[in-house]
Amino acid sequence: MAPKQFVPRSNTPVETAVESYLRKESSLGRLRPATIRNRRIELGRFARFAVSKKIDHAHEINRNLVTAYIGSLNIGNATKATTVVIIRAFLDYLVEEYLLMDNFLHGMKPPRSFRPEADYLAREEIDALFGAIAENSREKSVDRNLLLFSFLTVLCMRVSEAAGVRLQDVDLKAATIWVHRKGGKLVKLPLNTDLRQKIDTWLEKRKEWPGADSGWLFLSNRGGCLSVRQIQDLTKGFLKSAGILKRNMSPHLLRHSGASFYLATGTDIKTVQNLLGHSNLATTSRYVHAGEKAMEDAINGWGGTASGKQMSKTLIRNSHSGRGDGND
């Protein structure tokens, strides 16, 4: 007997299916708004490519189309692998809605990628960065900026996590802060004395800012929420002011640097994994950097007791004197 031919529930256009998928994910709270925006861009690009290849309806999507689309992208293999994951999730939705017979991407191997060793800041560079923040921030912004960059470095926050902190997330009495992570996860992190002092100082200054009655912890000069793009621009500007040039001049460099500092000074890798919010320990292991000095110390310590490294009480100096003309 011949196999029964697949009949889609409806002849839904690809672009319409994309929007239906994103609405469902948003309404169920399975994806954050920022993720929805990013997937709309990527899947919208895929939908336009499909239409250009005369694939107008969701049930017509096939392996050759996806392969051709991935091959047409002028991006690295790591980014291509992420694109495959995004399209695969979309195809899962199509199968669930009886708009596609099966998800052929579950059998497709993702593009192979080799991650270059990531940049990170040494302790001296971190100190130089915070010195540049203190010297080049506007007088009214210096306390905000020092706290913001402490969150990125000491608490190893992602830039979206730092931008999304609200006043209600901070509890100075309990010395904790709630962080909104990927996938809607909410985690509580401890605050050290230095961070509590910086928060307290900024909250006093914040009362004088436009938008002080809003719920966001970090405000822009116009009174709105300090955006991810603004934080990215601040990061690049302060790194340049400090004379620091890396391949990656983004806030993620600071997250990576904080994690690398903790690991280099003896913090257990599982603790760092929890701080970063990684589900896979292998991801955290990329933050371990074994330089020549570290290898020399390890070899010299063989057969004897290596001298312990004492964890610094704070990652940065609690100093923010100076003023300048930094941009928001």
The verdict on whether 320 is a catalytic residue reads no
Dihedral of the alpha carbons of 167, 171, 176, 182, in degrees to the nearest 10: -30
Say whether 23 is catalytic: no
b (16+ CB within 10 A) / e for 213-223: eeebbbbbbee
Distances (CA, A) of 13 to 17, 47, 312: 6, 9, 58
E strands along the chain, which residues? 170-171, 176-180, 186-190
Q: Dihedral (C-alpha) 219, 225, 227, 233: value to the nearest 10 degrees?
A: -20
Sign of CA dihedral 19, 21, 22, 26: positive
Are 147 and 226 within 8 A, CB to CB? no
Contact status, residue 311 vs residue 266, Cβ threshold 8 Å = yes
Which candidate in 252, 286, 289, 323 is catalytic? 252
Identify whether 32 is a catalytic site residue. Answer: no
- Annotated catalytic residue, options 32, 57, 158, 206: 158
Burial class for 320, CB neighbours closer than 10 Å (0-12, 13-18, 19+) = buried
Which one of the listed residues 166, 181, 278, 289 is annotated catalytic?
A: 278
Q: Is 188 a catalytic residue?
A: no
Is there a catalytic annotation at residue 287?
yes
Instruction: Establish whether 255 is a catalytic residue.
Output: yes
| Candidates 255, 256, 262, 320; catalytic one | 255
Residue 123 and residue 261 in contact, taking contact as beta carbons nearer than 8 Å: yes
Rounded to 5 degrees, what are φ and ψ at 233?
-65, -40
**23/231 Cα distance (integer angstroms):** 29
Catalytic residue among 182, 236, 286, 289: 182
Active-site residues, by number, are 158, 182, 252, 255, 278, 287
